[in-house]
Structure 1
Amino acid sequence: MHRNKSFSYMFIAPAVLLFAVFTIYPIVSSFVISFQKSTGGATHFIGFANYERLLHDEIFWKAMKNTFIIFIFQVPIMLFLALILSSALNSKLLKLKGLFRVGFYLPAVTSLVAYSLLFSIMLQDTGLINNVLSIFGIKPIPWLSSPVWAKISIILAMTWRWTGYNMVIYLAALQNISEDTYEAAAMDGAGKIRQFFSITIPQLKPVILFTAILSTIGTLQLFDEPYNLTKGGPADATMTLGLYIYQNGFKYFDFNYASAVAYVVVILVAILSLIQFKFTGSDDQ
């Protein structure tokens, strides 16, 4: 028996070692260096100085504000659209379901850089979107040069890419809901809209919570879209926490301060996840 256990440990040892080296060590190391400062190649302990610096950093607070604005608008819109699409694609009346499912899911497998560059080209002042709008007599919109429209551009891009991803998750969960439930509701006079809000959404509550937490984590780490679309501009209007971490770490080589910002993001993710568990979780949690 002892020999079998030894063989088992031998088999899992490579995976545990890789996890420790590439996951646990970076997490611990990042936490440690957030309390340090590097000067002239020497590193010394400075306590909470990096975290105190955050309190007086205007760009950090602007990045947090921008991140939360995008989060508050983009995540609910995306998840609601995913629910609507999954319900429609689960309908027995719809033809060519497979084609529509693949079509809506395709953006999720598109390269982040490729789709961001595609949107940056389409949203230019003389790009495809403004050319189409001009046909209807609408003046060109400064999608990437206006602080407000730049945020809207990022929200649109993220919604286009991630709605289909969440749709597939909801679609899988919908197929586990018994048809008898909908038939009983229909016999009681409940219409499709009433069934959606009284049966579909309550039955999908755990899955909605799961996707909400994933979307929260993804949005608070938002980097690719603002980096490729706007570079954080104009005037830091689309600077996000993820982009700010990147700039401090790989542009200014201040990895200590970047680590402090990163752990603030970790704390924010934990707090928002707990709030979502509280208000979106099932009653028995």
Structure 2
Amino acid sequence: MRLFYLILPFIIFWLIFNVLSIIIGIFYVYRESSIIESFRFVLSDNLFWVSLKNSFFYCIIVIPLQLISFFIAFVIYKLSDKQASFFRMIFYLPVVIPIASIGFVFKVMFNDEGVVNDWLFKFFGLKIPFLSNYYYSMLVAFLLTFWKGLGYYVLIYLSSLYSISKEIIENGVLDGMNFFQKMWYIYLPLVKGTFYFASFLSVLSALKVFAEIFIVTEGGPGTSTYTLMMYIYSRAFYSFDLPTSIAASFILSFIVILVSLFIFKKQLESAKIV
């Protein structure tokens, strides 16, 4: 019963700002316009499909983040305690820095006269329009997400690696396993569940990405980085069309639920196999 009282503030907070907001949103859409009409407008809006495509593309490019995070975590796992503590701090430091500060720094670094272009021109004679090019702008936004979130996923994989029993690894050594065999038959199977969990978190973050895009590119140039959250925000605060914004939010919530169920199912299957 004491544990219930400990989590009670969180439950109240969650009910007020999540469940209650959904109920209010449904009533608002119903009062202001037809719910079906709002969803019909969203689904017929070409800009919505562009934003959805960009959001899914953002989800796809976060997959390498998981692989890189795991291998960095594995390298730290093999270090001594003092060295591992130092590198854990270094990699986790960007996670605690406010996104507004990091976004501003990236915007200054990657503009046409920024530090990155100065280096490229100095060493290679090149200047790349990172923030004004249709394709490079998405790359800059992804680099920001990658750099800020890397340490978080490294710690998740480290916690999984540290939980592996030393006896299992020692048995592998006694059986004559080399490095690649231990990686394939011991480490990867035992962290598979963690991989699905980290993928779940990263995909959800990618679907709901907003601050990185808004600060660095503001959805541009054109609609190259215009994500679903940007669409919801612009409909609500630029066009003042709250019913459409709420309808798009419900669609995003439905997509998040489907993705969550799929990854959760895969995680359960991997747990049964292990």
TM-score by length of 1: 0.87
Equivalent position of 1:27 in the other structure = 22
Aligned equivalent of 1:100: 87
Q: 1:205 to 1:14 in 2, by over 3 A?
A: closer
Report SS of the residue matched to 2:146: helix
Question: Which residue in the other structure is 1:47 paired with?
Answer: 35
Structure 2 unaligned regions, length at least 5: none
Q: Matched residues in 2 for 1:89 and 1:9: separation? A: 37
1:91 aligns with 2:86: no
- Aligned position for 1:40: none
Query: Does structure 1 conserve the Cα–Cα contact (< 8 Å) formed by 2:104 and 2:215?
Result: yes
**Distance change (3 Å), C-alpha of 1:283 and 1:11:** closer
Where does residue 204 of structure 2 map in the other structure? Answer: 217
Q: Secondary structure of 2:160's match?
A: helix
CA deviation vs aligned residue, 1:33-83 (integer Å, no higher than 9, x gap) = 34x3xxxxxx4441311111122111110001111111101x211111110
Q: 2:56 aligns with which of 68, 88, 99?
A: 68
Matched, 1:121 2:108: yes
Aligned to 1:166: 153
SS of 1:248's equivalent in the other structure is helix
Q: Specify every segment of 5 or more residues in structure 1 that has no aligned partner in the other structure, as ranges.
A: 37-42
User: How far 1:259 moved relative to its partner?
Assistant: 0.7
Aligned to 2:240: 253
Q: 1:140-159 to 2 correspondence within 5 Å?
A: 140-159=127-146
**Higher Rg of the two aligned structures:** 1
Count the aligned residue pairs: 272
Displacement of 1:150: 0.6
Q: CA RMSD in A?
A: 2.5
1:178-219 deviations in whole A, cap 9, x for unaligned? 122222223333222332232222111222222111111111
- Alignment check: 8 A CA contact 1:31 1:263 kept: no
Residue 234 of structure 1 corresponds to which residue in structure 2?
A: 221
- After TM superposition, the structure 1 = structure 2 runs for residues 159-198 of structure 1, keeping only pairs within 5 Å, are 159-198=146-185
> Residue 110 and residue 193 in structure 1: after superposition, are their counterparts in 2 closer, same or farther (change >3 A)?
farther
Change (3 A) 1:161 1:48: same
Q: Which amino acid aligns with 1:176?
A: S
Q: Are the aligned partners of 2:33 and 2:243 in contact in 1 as well (CA < 8 Å)?
A: no
Distance 1:238 1:9, change over 3 A: closer
Query: Per the alignment, in what secondary structure is the counterpart of residue 220 of structure 2?
Result: coil
1:228 shift after superposition: 0.5
Shift in alpha-carbon separation, 1:101–1:135, aligned structure 2, 3 A? same
**AA at the equivalent of 1:167:** V
Structure 1 residue 245: deviation in Å?
0.8
* 1:250 Cα offset (Å): 1.5
Q: Which residue of 2 aligns with 1:133?
A: 120
SS in 1 for 2:56: helix
1:270 aligns to 2:265 (yes or no): no
Whether the 8 Å contact between 2:58 and 2:142 is mirrored in structure 1 is: yes
By how many angstroms is 1:100 displaced?
A: 1.2
Aligned residues of 2:32 and 2:243 also touching (Cα < 8 A): no
In the aligned structure 2, how far is the partner of 1:8 from the partner of 1:100?
35
Q: 2 CA distance for matches of 1:263 and 1:129?
A: 39
Say if 2:197 and 2:267, in contact at 8 Å, map to a contact too: no
Q: How far apart, in 1, do the equivalents of 2:7 and 2:181 lie? A: 50
Q: 1:118 to 1:277 in 2, by over 3 A?
A: same
Take 1:251 and 1:126, find their aligned partners in 2: how far apart are those partners? 30
**What's the CA shift string for 1:64-118, capped at 9, x where partnerless?**
1111111101x21111111011111010468622111100111111101110111
